[in-house]
């Protein structure tokens, strides 16, 4: 049975160097996740099993190519992991005859020129996954524009607390349509809709999705132990390394949420999957 992971972390957004909407904790998140997967024996830290894309190497084309590698020749019992730490956003679905929803996105290094990666792109990449293959998707990002209300309210506090939020405003050509009708609903990434619960059961889902925050919240990074890290990724890795692989996904999620609360951060991670997958042990 194969064990494979694609880990993406982007601090440096185009242009290379200062000037883009840069972050500081995403590459550290990748290192934390890679070390955690290796130490726990989930995915060995070897080039044939683990691929890492950071900063300028994490282009749209490279990420999509990495996703194709991740699911290639997948079979029942395989352990597959896609981890993304970076900016998120959303765009109007202008490919339809009517603008009836927003597509959530992740932002590759070159998103400004090459475009964002939509939930549709991720769904397409995972569509051929065979039954019984275990795919966990981790997204430490913000997606919904409703989170900007929190951004405004915490602007002053963020300067003092050194919090940085992982959200990019939609590009102007899409943002115009979104701003013209604020009632357009947001379609949750990788599924038709998302609830307000900490754990969401989705019948027929062929993967498990771990989100760093709910739709109406912001996913943040901050200096923890003197090093910038994503709050969600830091807490999740801390929980996994403490509990090992004997806990279920539901238990790992609950402990991660509790740990984030103990750090006095407001974001609430969300776990989505089938009832069976949520009850199973992590990465099975």
Residue 183: predicted pLDDT = 55
> For the ranges 4-18, 54-68, 97-111, 127-141, which has the lowest average pLDDT?
97-111
The dihedral through the CA atoms of 174, 180, 182, 186 has a sign that is negative
Tell me, yes or no, whether 135 lies in a domain. Answer: yes
The dihedral through the CA atoms of 39, 129, 102, 12 has a sign that is positive
> For the ranges 55-64, 205-214, 234-243, which has the lowest average pLDDT?
205-214
Question: How many distinct structural domains can be found in the chain?
Answer: 1
Tell me, yes or no, whether 204 lies in a domain. Answer: yes
Active-site option among 26, 107, 142, 237: 142
Tell me, yes or no, whether 233 lies in a domain. Answer: yes
Tell me, yes or no, whether 245 lies in a domain. Answer: yes
Residue 97: predicted pLDDT = 42
Mean pLDDT of 235-251: 96
Q: Any idea of the CA torsion for 75, 5, 15, 115, to the nearest 10 degrees?
A: 30
User: Residue 64 pLDDT more than 60?
Assistant: yes
Tell me, yes or no, whether 38 lies in a domain. Answer: yes
Tell me, yes or no, whether 198 lies in a domain. Answer: yes
For 193, residues 6+ apart whose C-beta sits below 8 A from its C-beta are 185, 187
The answer to whether the beta carbons of residues 207 and 126 sit under 8 Å apart is yes
pTM: 0.88
Measured between alpha carbons, how far is residue 237 from residues 109, 219, 234, 249, 252 in Å? Answer: 24, 16, 5, 13, 10
Active-site option among 26, 87, 237, 257: 87
Tell me, yes or no, whether 284 lies in a domain. Answer: no
Angle at which helices 249-262 and 231-243 cross, to 10°? 120
Known active-site residue 87: yes
* 191 burial level (CB within 10 Å; 0-12, 13-18, 19+): middle
Residue 167: predicted pLDDT = 83
Q: Cis before residue 108, ω within 30 degrees of 0?
A: no
Residue 143: predicted pLDDT = 72
User: Residue 252 pLDDT more than 50?
Assistant: yes
The answer to whether the beta carbons of residues 104 and 144 sit under 8 Å apart is yes
Tell me, yes or no, whether 131 lies in a domain. Answer: yes
Read off the pLDDT of residues 94-136 as tens digits, 9 standing for 90 and up.
655 444 467 789 999 999 999 999 888 998 999 889 989 999 9
Read off the pLDDT of residues 187-232 as tens digits, 9 standing for 90 and up.
556 654 444 567 877 777 889 999 998 876 778 899 998 999 999 9
CATH code where residue 181 lies:
3.40.50.1460
For 217-239, b where at least 16 C-beta lie within 10 A, e where not — what string?
bbbbbbebeeebbbbbbbbbbbb
22: domain range? 3-279
Read off the pLDDT of residues 158-174 as tens digits, 9 standing for 90 and up.
444 567 888 887 766 65
């Amino acid at each position: 049975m194969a064990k494979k992971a694609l880990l993406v972390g982007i601090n440096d957004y185009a242009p290379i160097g200062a000037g883009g909407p840069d972050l500081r904790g995403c590459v550290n998140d990748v290192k934390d996740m890679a070390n955690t997967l290796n130490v726990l024996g989930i995915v060995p830290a070897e080039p044939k099993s683990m691929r890492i894309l950071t900063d300028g190497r994490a282009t749209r084309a490279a990420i999509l190519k990495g996703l194709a590698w991740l699911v290639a020749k997948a079979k029942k019992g395989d352990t597959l992991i896609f981890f993304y730490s970076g900016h998120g956003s959303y765009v109007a679905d202008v490919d339809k005859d009517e603008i009836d929803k927003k597509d959530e996105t992740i932002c590759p290094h070159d998103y400004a020129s090459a475009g964002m990666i939509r939930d549709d792109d991720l769904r397409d990449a995972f569509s051929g996954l065979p039954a019984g293959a275990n795919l966990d998707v981790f997204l430490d990002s913000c997606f919904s524009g409703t989170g900007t209300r929190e951004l405004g309210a915490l602007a002053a506090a963020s300067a003092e607390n050194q919090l940085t939020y992982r959200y990019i405003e939609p590009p102007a050509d899409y943002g115009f349509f979104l701003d013209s009708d604020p009632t357009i609903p947001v379609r949750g990434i990788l599924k038709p809709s998302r609830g307000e619960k900490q754990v969401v059961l989705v019948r027929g889902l062929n993967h498990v999705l771990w989100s760093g925050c709910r739709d109406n919240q912001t996913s943040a990074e901050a200096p923890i132990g003197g090093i910038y890290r994503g709050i969600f990724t830091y807490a999740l890795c801390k929980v996994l390394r403490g509990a090992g692989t004997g806990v279920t996904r539901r238990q790992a999620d609950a402990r991660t949420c509790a740990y984030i609360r103990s750090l006095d951060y407001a974001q609430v991670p969300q776990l989505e999957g089938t009832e069976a997958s949520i009850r199973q042990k992590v990465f099975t």
